[in-house]
Structure 1
Amino acid sequence: MLNQILDWARGDARPPRDDGALRRAVAALLMEAARVDDITDQAERERIQALLAWRFRLGPFEAAQLETEAERASDGAVSWHALTHTIREHCDEPARIRIVEMLWDVIVADGKIDDLEANLMRRVAALLFVSDADSGAARRRVLARNGAETAAEEDPE
């Protein structure tokens, strides 16, 4: 939060605003991406925390706390419609594409993309009004960053 205020004071960003709802929605979707295959491993948890820290400029403790809250929240029924609606209210198209890229990043953290994960991404991208082409490009960027072994396990588009 302090970084956001300093950025705003320097003229580098919009005035700070409460983005708690956006943080919770993104964290919950990232947790859903990790849980959709019924296995949430440490690599996925660490990736979620790193992505939350990066996206929202959080410290490690704050990111871990947000990830834990998202995990508890996802133990109950999660409404993808409500989460994606919140994200659409707070984010323009480039920001929504970055969130889709974050989701792909969590999905490939375990080294593979299964059918349930691919299905989740098609549905969530559509609810975020992100095109298949933009979602596919985000996936390719993530695969390129994460190495050829992950890409080799992925089925072709």
Structure 2
Amino acid sequence: MFDQFQKFIQSLGGEEKPELARDDPRVAAAALFFHVIDADGVSEPVEREKLQQLLERQYGVHKDELKKLVDAGKQAEDESVDFYAFTSVLKRSLDAEQRVNFIELLWELVYADGVRHELEDNVVWRVAELLGVSDRDRVLMRQRVAARLGSGDGS
């Protein structure tokens, strides 16, 4: 009886949106974004800002929806023990070209604070490997981002 009443009350508030699931590619991407910016042990405000910009640009989410996605990604990343769960979701949902483009997004996060830290570099390498992105494409994406940002770190 109480359950029926609760469902009735919920129906009055309009259609309830389902929570973001860990197997949602957007959550997987956000979790990996967090892992990159946290890799060097310092999460700068500029990196978090860049993370939100990338999610907005890639997935067309804004305001409340963006906050939910960021929160879900952070929680998923905090609860994870490895990259495999996230990369497997992305590998199933992205084609080869989109996976290369995703690696480019990771490089944008690496360079967001103006410093390419070796731990961030290692995370991108491991994610690229799990996504099936070649070393060549990973390096080309790093060079592309470095050139676009004028970092002079295209090596």
The aligned residue for residue 128 of structure 1 is 131
The aligned residue for residue 21 of structure 1 is 24
How far residue 155 of structure 1 moved from its aligned partner, in angstroms, is 7.4
The aligned residue for residue 55 of structure 1 is 58
Q: Is the contact between residue 103 and residue 138 of structure 2 (CA under 8 Å) also seen in structure 1?
A: yes
TM-score computed with the length of structure 1 as normaliser? 0.78
- Cα deviation per residue 1:14-63 (whole Å; 9 max; x = unaligned)? xxxx9x71001011001101100111111111111111111111124422
The aligned residue for residue 42 of structure 1 is 45
The aligned residue for residue 6 of structure 1 is none
How far residue 73 of structure 1 moved from its aligned partner, in angstroms, is 2.6
The separation in 2 between residues aligned to 1:111 and 1:65, in whole angstroms, is 28
Letter in 2 for 1:57: G
Matched residues, number: 135
- Cα deviation per residue 1:68-102 (whole Å; 9 max; x = unaligned)? 22223322334201111100100100110111111
Q: Give structure 2 stretches of 5+ with no counterpart.
A: 1-20
The separation in 1 between residues aligned to 2:97 and 2:63, in whole angstroms, is 25
Runs of 4 or more, structure 1, over 3 Å off, are none
Q: Is the contact between residue 142 and residue 154 of structure 2 (CA under 8 Å) also seen in structure 1?
A: no
Would the alpha carbon gap of residues 143 and 64 (structure 1) be closer, same or farther in structure 2, given more than 3 Å must change? farther
How far residue 65 of structure 1 moved from its aligned partner, in angstroms, is 2.8
The separation in 2 between residues aligned to 1:113 and 1:66, in whole angstroms, is 26
Instruction: Tell me how large the CA RMSD over aligned residues is.
Output: 2.0
Letter in 2 for 1:112: V
Q: Is the contact between residue 53 and residue 60 of structure 1 (CA under 8 Å) also seen in structure 2?
A: no
The aligned residue for residue 93 of structure 1 is 96
Letter in 2 for 1:49: Q
The separation in 1 between residues aligned to 2:46 and 2:116, in whole angstroms, is 14
Q: Give structure 1 stretches of 5+ with no counterpart.
A: 1-17
Letter in 1 for 2:129: A
The separation in 1 between residues aligned to 2:147 and 2:67, in whole angstroms, is 26
> Aligned residues: percent identity?
33
TM-score computed with the length of structure 2 as normaliser? 0.79
The aligned residue for residue 111 of structure 2 is 108
